[in-house]
Amino acid sequence: MTRTDVSDAPRLSDSPIKEQAVRYALLPLRIFLGVTFLYAGLDKLTDSAFLSAGGEGSIGDLMRGVRDTSAVPALVDLALKAPVGFAVCLAIGEILVGLAVLAGLLTRVAAVGGALISLSLWLTVSWAVTPYYYGNDLIYLVAWTPLILAGASYPSLDSLIRSRRSRRTA
CA–CA distance, 83 with 53 (Å, rounded to integer) = 6
Give the CA count within 13 Å in the CB-facing half-sphere of 149.
6
Q: Where are the domains of the chain?
A: 25-169
pLDDT one-digit tens code per residue, 108-156: 999 999 999 999 999 999 999 999 899 999 999 999 999 999 998 889 9
In this model, does residue 170 exceed pLDDT 70?
no
- The answer to whether the peptide bond before residue 10 is cis (omega within 30 degrees of 0) is no
- The answer to whether the peptide bond before residue 155 is cis (omega within 30 degrees of 0) is yes
In this model, does residue 5 exceed pLDDT 60?
no
